[in-house]
A and B are shown apart, each in its own frame.
Chain A
């Protein structure tokens, strides 16, 4: 038996947290590694595992990476219109779409500056990763080598963004962190990037909302800020898995054309999920919740990115009783979303403003549902159940 440490690589704080969730998933799926806990290691984390030997673990992790990515990853190179296609061929670069666990990340939207191909290649390389290449996660690497010296760009420590590639409009000029773990000819890829994307795929809640003006990505995932033993680590991983499972339930809501939710309404729809984890992170003060909102505005065919770290304040306004009731009825909630979107819109406005009369207004809408003959029984049942748990 041997105690072995696996490391997350440091690029940005957010990247490292996603990297950790991905690593935990690999350990969980591994046929050799037994989880022991997490230790803080300089800028990142070390995952402590127990295994028979390092060689065996390395071999197994390579296999695990191949097996884990295969079913959840879908990669596609697309050229949208004819002219784009021609342009793309001219530049010998197409738009890359990566889908992880059913969540589609358009690499061009999220990452810019040519780094999107490295992201794409990193994920692509997981299908043929070798024992030797896995070596990278046994070592601690700091990719972001920039300092806060005068004249150079600040460290990405300050940038609450989604990953090491994601620096399109942040004021760091062209100084991207050196992301590459390994270089083979023209192929730049890194294991840690792929693992972080895995973390995003299997350990986070994510929602992609598109509109005419652009689109919004919403992300929520747990992280940890101290050393943690077996039990807490399991909870950290469990919270991430729960968030990703919730996403699978709620993502279809978005596909529905009949949707009439306002932005506030969408907020109301996802707030029970945020609230649920916020409560968990209060309980286990070591587990934190990260919320991000990425706005992509379309400006003359180009996407302009804005990243915002969202606070959970609005969600904490949702009473515990209503939170649990909404989650308990998650599957049937859909009919309420379709038939009574006003409820969510009003509730969302209450969450944003904290104005109690709006909460009462939302409940009044619910109450009127129960006597409306045109609405389905499911909607009525859900409305009744929510009402009976709405007291604060």
Chain B
């Protein structure tokens, strides 16, 4: 365990305003670094412009609604709802970067603070931690989608699909970590991620400024947390949630003999397709939005350049 990342963070808080403080990645040139609020805004903005992909998401959504309630609804409305869902996913996908240890890592302070810790908690996991800890976001999300015309169950399943997309959006990058695991449990996940399960995740209450500002710029109706205090979670708690996400539509359906997925019902199939599509659309939007980050080669990810080539 690190001595006290919070202390160091308090120091940083005195030097910057919240929206200046939170960075979206680790870069050598700190003063030119992209801010987290910009990245959240940029991703949510980018995702609304991916028309073809919104179309696919809306079709999957209609398929899910059909499988669950047997109802059809028109394409225009489906597109509007799909748009809302994607904005939600994009808006919250990197909120985990507001976690204190990630911010220290982004500012090259983390290694200084603790020489034994080589890794910060994965930010995609931190995002899930945030959303599960602040669970009035879920209520609002489901409520809004239900008002828009989705059935309650579909709204609920969609939320789980969003959570899955957020948990997985950076996993393709770190896939080698968990690829060797036969069995995903909180313990094996912490083994794969080389992190102690006791690690604390802390969101300082200034994170809310980032969210508020991003929403204001976005001019979209994104559910915000009701309480505005700081949020804390232990990594092991988060790993429980991540494990549940993996089991929700995946691991419990694996047939150990054939190692293939056996989907028993059409709506499970429809939800996992939706989750998969959301993950991929988020990945595209995320990488397109990150194009503006730095211009030198080492700063650009391999995936970003590939995605730019195909989707840019």
Chain A residues at the B interface, C-beta cutoff of 8 Å = 1, 29-35, 50-52, 67, 71, 229-231, 234-235, 237-239, 241-242, 244-246, 248-249, 252, 275-276, 279-280, 283-284, 320-321, 323-325, 327-332, 389
Proximity string of chain B (129-141) to chain A, C-beta cutoff 8 Å, 1 when within and 0 when not: 0001101001000
User: Are B182's CB and A389's CB within 8 A?
Assistant: no
**Minimum Cβ distance to chain B for residue A64 (Å):** 10
**Further contacts, 10 of them, CB under 8 A, given A237-B244, A276-B186:** A34-B153, A34-B156, A52-B151, A231-B133, A234-B241, A280-B186, A280-B236, A323-B187, A324-B188, A328-B183
Given contacts A34-B156, A246-B183, A328-B182, whether A238 and B243 have CB atoms under 8 Å apart is yes
Given contacts A31-B153, A329-B182, whether A242 and B247 have CB atoms under 8 Å apart is yes
User: Are B240's CB and A284's CB within 8 A?
Assistant: yes
- B180 nearest CB neighbor, chain A only: A328
The 7 nearest A-B residue pairs measured at CB? A238-B244, A324-B191, A330-B182, A324-B187, A34-B156, A283-B236, A331-B182
User: Are B256's CB and A327's CB within 8 A?
Assistant: no
- B255 nearest CB neighbor, chain A only: A248
User: Are B183's CB and A235's CB within 8 A?
Assistant: no
Chain B residues at the A interface, C-beta cutoff of 8 Å = 68-69, 132-133, 135, 138, 142, 146, 151-153, 155-156, 180-183, 185-188, 190-192, 197, 234, 236-237, 240-241, 243-244, 247-248, 251-252, 254, 256, 264-265, 267
Q: What residues of B have a CB within 8 angstroms of the CB of A235 in the complex?
A: 240-241, 244
User: Are B132's CB and A31's CB within 8 A?
Assistant: no
User: Can you report 29 A-B residue pairs in the complex whose CB atoms are below 8 A from each other?
Assistant: A29-B265, A30-B153, A34-B156, A50-B152, A51-B152, A71-B264, A230-B138, A231-B132, A234-B241, A235-B240, A235-B241, A238-B243, A244-B252, A249-B182, A249-B183, A249-B256, A276-B186, A279-B186, A280-B185, A280-B186, A320-B187, A321-B191, A324-B185, A324-B190, A327-B181, A327-B183, A328-B183, A328-B191, A329-B182
CA of A320 to CA of B135, assembled, Å: 30
Residue from A71, A238, A327 within 8 A of B240 (CB atoms): A238
CA of A33 to CA of B256, assembled, Å: 30
Q: What residues of B have a CB within 8 angstroms of the CB of A52 in the complex?
A: 151-152
- B267 nearest CB neighbor, chain A only: A31
Chain B interface main SS type: helix
Given contacts A328-B181, A330-B183, whether A32 and B152 have CB atoms under 8 Å apart is yes
CA of A372 to CA of B234, assembled, Å: 43
User: Are B243's CB and A242's CB within 8 A?
Assistant: yes
User: Are B252's CB and A241's CB within 8 A?
Assistant: yes
User: Are A35's CB and B256's CB within 8 A?
Assistant: no
Q: What residues of A have a CB within 8 angstroms of the CB of B264 in the complex?
A: 71
**Minimum Cβ distance to chain B for residue A308 (Å):** 26
Given contacts A71-B264, A245-B254, A328-B182, whether A35 and B187 have CB atoms under 8 Å apart is no
User: Are A1's CB and B265's CB within 8 A?
Assistant: no
User: Are A33's CB and B236's CB within 8 A?
Assistant: no
**Minimum Cβ distance to chain A for residue B196 (Å):** 10
User: Are A1's CB and B191's CB within 8 A?
Assistant: no
**Minimum Cβ distance to chain B for residue A357 (Å):** 26
Q: What residues of A have a CB within 8 angstroms of the CB of B192 in the complex?
A: 328
Q: What residues of B have a CB within 8 angstroms of the CB of A238 in the complex?
A: 240, 243-244, 247-248
Q: What residues of B have a CB within 8 angstroms of the CB of A67 in the complex?
A: 265
Max chain B C-beta neighbours (<10 A), residue from A1, A71, A241, A283: A283
Residue from A239, A245, A323 within 8 A of B251 (CB atoms): A245
